[in-house]
Structure 1
Amino acid sequence: MRGWLREAAGGLPRQFWFLWGGTLINRLGSFVLIYLAIYLTQDVGLSTSKAGLVIGAWGVGGGLGTLAGGVLSDRWGRRPTMLTAQFGAAALMLTLGFAHGFWQLLVCTLLLGMFAEGVRPAFQAMMIDVVPDRDRVRAFSLNYWAVNLGFAASAVLAGVAAQADYLLLFVIDAGTTLVTAVVTLVFLRETRPAVRARKARRNGPGLGTVFRDRVFVSFLALNFLIVLVVMQHQTTLPIAMAEDGLGAATFGWVIAVNGLMIVAGQLFVPKLIEGYDRSRVLALATLILGIGFGLNAFAGGSVGFYVFTVVVWTLGEMLQSPSNSALVAELSPSLLRGRYQGVSSLSWSAGGALAPVVGGFAQEHAGSTVLWLSCAVLGVIVAAGQLISGPARERRASELRVSPTLTKSPTSTETRHDEDVTPPTAPRRPAR
């Protein structure tokens, strides 16, 4: 056991563990998003479609926040970006708890999404800055483990708090966000090198550089489609269970299985997938995710069957997350690390914005069965896309591993120094 722990968690830098600890604290109080759909429909009294629009506003705000956070983390710094986002999110969380009416809820959720998700690119860029390439899959797995340890506990605790008073959800969530901000303020140092900071301010490449990277954007497009599936666990799944007569506390225990499985098994995943083709791992993971959500069509109000579906799609999530995060890190040129992380987070925020709207509409007008079977179809499509686009991604990752800040022009042998941060173009295949 001691040897396994050393292999799973040993040798990582001190600053990583402060990041990890902040993640755990924050996730232990992440009550609001888990129960927002139930709160809006049962306590506030919004329709399913309006609740979907409010939750979708979180995703819209998150998309804006991640883009701004990505640019600011490269230009302003990782630490100040994180502090601004964390203190702002704590204040807005309390504001949302006291908001009334559809439009107030919509605006507060939009702003909260901006600040809550704005921290993500800076956090991820800082983690990549301090963790060497060889340890990143382990580091992302450990951080994901902390996320889900907190999620598993918060899902159960939030169910109890919601039965007492829904306002407690917002108060506790704001409190843990504030504690995380204090951890950032006291223990974390800035990791953006000063030389790179001056070059970034002087040359100032924009977000368009990232969006012109076709290999990266095609990968994010696939990620966006699977996010549409995954995010149903926060929106349409609790509504479907409520329609089957299962209460908020039951949903909390069912969804906590997701976190408990990840806590129990996630640290074994890096060793399990070591040596396997990454594109095939991602394809298998997305296929399992799609099938897991598709099985909800046959739950029929059975708590045991809902637990079974959570077990299935969690297995896919456990395989997908560390490979996905490490690949995004490898595809990010060092001078544009914050921007690439911001655009990557945008795929999650955009999926988070659209998932409740599309899922809520499908659930309300076509029924839950159509919704869940559509999730299975999307899983198959994304799995095929991962297999097809995988070779180009691995070529790009290999180029950046060899020369993270020094690349060669795709049309000549001229060398571009790190002032030129345009991502390399994938080599063309020779004509047959």
Structure 2
Amino acid sequence: MLGGDALSAVGSGMTLPFLLVYLSQVRGIDVGVAGLAVATVALAGFAGNPVGGWLSDVIGSRRALVCGLLVSAVGAFTVTLVRDPWHAFAASAVVGVGLALVTPAQDALLATVVEPRQRPTVFAVRNATLNAGYGVGGVAAAFIADLGSAQSFVVLYVVDGCTFLLFVPVLIVLLPDAGRATRRTDAATAPTSPARRGYRAVLRDTTFLQVWVLMAFLVTIGFAQTLSGFPAYATGDGGVGAHVVGIAFAANTFAVVLLQLPVLRVMTGHRRTTGMALACTFWAVAWVVTAIAGTSGGGSLAAVGLTAALVVFAVGETLLAPSQASLVNDLAPDDLRGRYNGLYTLAWTTGLMVGPALAGFALGAGHGRGLFLGLAAACLVAASLTWGLGRRLPAHLDVVASVRDEDPVDRRP
């Protein structure tokens, strides 16, 4: 399953970063309209994430994932047919719905094909393989994409669609019995059962809601800024070229792939919330370095500083990976696992919508340095919120378990 996931990540790495460029510079759509079309990908997630979670609980996460992969493939193929603005909106919506269906089903399925104590490890490894896939896809796209050739982009999106389709037989043939919908017992059909209450039961889980709010906040001040605020600030106030941003992202990807397993070994037996708080601290350092590098006058000093900032950010990513999705799945009962993952994915969608808007407002007002210093402060606030979450979590949920032990080894002070 991790192999199929990495394969589809290669396709996504080849195409998603270039969608705006493809629509505006290759298909000749006004850049403002093209930007709105690209935003449709995220907007589709607001509806698609809860539907994907519900579908996983109703028909099983494997079947829901297959549906999402098929929709994603159709979306990728449809992008190649774009000629007019309405085509761009329609194709982007299909892409967004497909991704919104895939993510919660994928997380729910991954959580069920391993033992609970293995979840931190498998989600951490998935983070490394995804980054490797995105990196390979980005490098491949750099060699294939040609702004003077629409056909080169058609090749990229066709290959992207095929990577989704190739994942389908892996699920059908190799995992035929995985991710089945949980059969409801008589107790489960009682009026107060989670199975009957659906999303209402998830929304009454106050611990999960704390995790949700924290994750939406982290995505807004962290991941979303790497995709929006950072490149805009680096090429604007920072005075560096786009190639420096590319090098910085490549260094980030390499660092995640290289460090994820060693960091996981260090984290095993320790608090999940400690790892999350440390991740926030590393991100705060990364944004301070970014703010300083952006005012160094450009040149090699700025390039080194900006690249170092994303490497430091990568360390935070590796600390976060064993904790976030695995904690959500440890909180989730089996018959609501899809819905928990659907809402958890919605936290990401929310952050990825709010974060770029925040960055655009600050950078447009000429407050680039202030933006990143403010983000650093926000990361420290998030670290304190994480410590607060740790005081509320039961001990067995706040430990990164060892895959070798039946019971988690608690090394907490």
Per the alignment, do residues 149 and 385 of structure 1 end up closer, same or farther by CA in structure 2, a change over 3 Å counting? same
> Does structure 2 retain, via aligned residues, the 8 Å contact 1:93–1:112?
yes
Is 1:289 the equivalent of 2:276? Answer: no
Letter in 1 for 2:314: T
Give the conservation status (yes or no) of the 8 Å contact 2:111–2:326.
Answer: no
Q: For each residue in 1:137-174, what CA deviation from the matched residue of structure 2 results, as whole angstroms up to 9, or x when unmatched?
A: 22112211211111222222223333454444423322
Q: Is the 8 A contact 2:240 2:303 kept in 1?
A: no
Separation in 2, partners of 1:370, 1:379: 14
Given the alignment of the two structures, is residue 25 of structure 1 paired with residue 7 of structure 2, yes or no? yes
Structure 1: gaps (5+ residues) = 1-18, 402-432
For normalisation by structure 1, the TM-score amounts to 0.79
Deviations along 1:279-334, whole A, 9 cap, x unmatched?
22211111212331343223344332221111010110110111112211211122
**CA distance in structure 2 between the partners assigned to 1:78 and 1:59 by the alignment:** 22
Please give the alpha-carbon distance, in whole angstroms, between the structure 2 residues aligned to 1:66 and 1:314: 26
- Partner of residue 264, structure 1: 258
Q: Any idea what SS the aligned residue of 1:363 has?
A: helix
**Does the aligned pair in 2 maintain the 1:94–1:170 contact within 8 Å?**
yes
Q: Percent identity?
A: 27
Aligned match of 2:119: 136
**What corresponds to 1:173 in structure 2?**
160
- The 2-side partners of 1:277 and 1:367 are apart by 37
- Aligned AA (1:182): P
What's 2:411 paired with? none
Does 2:223 correspond to 1:230?
yes
Tell me the distance in 1 between the aligned counterparts of 2:373 and 2:29.
28
> Which whole-Å CA distance do the structure 1 matches of 2:314 and 2:139 have between them?
17
CA distance in 1, matches of 2:207, 2:255: 33
RMSD, aligned CA: 2.8
User: Which segments of 5 or more consecutive residues in structure 2 lack a partner in the other structure?
Assistant: 402-413
- Name the structure 2 match of 1:408: none
What is aligned with 1:252? 246
Aligned to 1:119: 102
C-alpha spacing 1:297/1:220, structure 2 compared with 1 (3 Å): same
Q: What's the counterpart of residue 385 of structure 1? A: 385
**CA–CA distance in structure 2, aligned partners of residues 395 and 54 of structure 1:** 45
Give the distance between the partners of 2:92 and 2:251, measured in 1 at CA. Answer: 27
The whole-number CA distance in structure 2 between the counterparts of 1:379 and 1:65 is 29
Q: What is aligned with 1:83? A: 66
The amino acid across from 1:160 in the alignment is F
Q: CA separation in 2, counterparts of 1:273 and 1:118?
A: 31
Q: Which residue of 2 aligns with 1:13?
A: none
8 Å CA contact 2:249–2:310 kept in 1: the answer is yes
Q: Which residue of the other structure, out of 165, 172, 190, is the alignment partner of 1:185?
A: 172
Q: Counterpart amino acid of 2:364?
A: E
Q: Secondary structure at the match of 1:94?
A: helix
> Does the 8 Å contact 2:80/2:154 carry over to 1?
yes
- Describe the shift of the 1:41–1:365 C-alpha distance in structure 2 as closer, same or farther (beyond 3 A): farther
1:351 is displaced (CA, Å) by: 1.3
> In structure 2, the residue corresponding to 1:322 is in which secondary structure?
coil
Q: Which amino acid aligns with 1:356?
A: P
Q: What's the CA shift for 1:382?
A: 0.9
Alignment length, in residue pairs?
379
Say whether 1:214 aligns with 2:196. no
AA aligned opposite 2:278: L
Q: 1:394 to 1:162 in 2, by over 3 A?
A: farther
1:161 aligns with 144
Residue 52 of structure 1 and its aligned partner are, at CA, apart by: 5.7
Note the alpha carbon deviations across 1:192-237, whole angstroms, 9 max, x for none. Answer: 4566257778953321211121111111101101101212222333
Cα separation, 2, equivalents of 1:65 and 1:350: 13
Per-residue CA deviations over 1:70-121 (Å, capped at 9, x if unaligned) read 1111111122211111011111123234435555434432331121121122
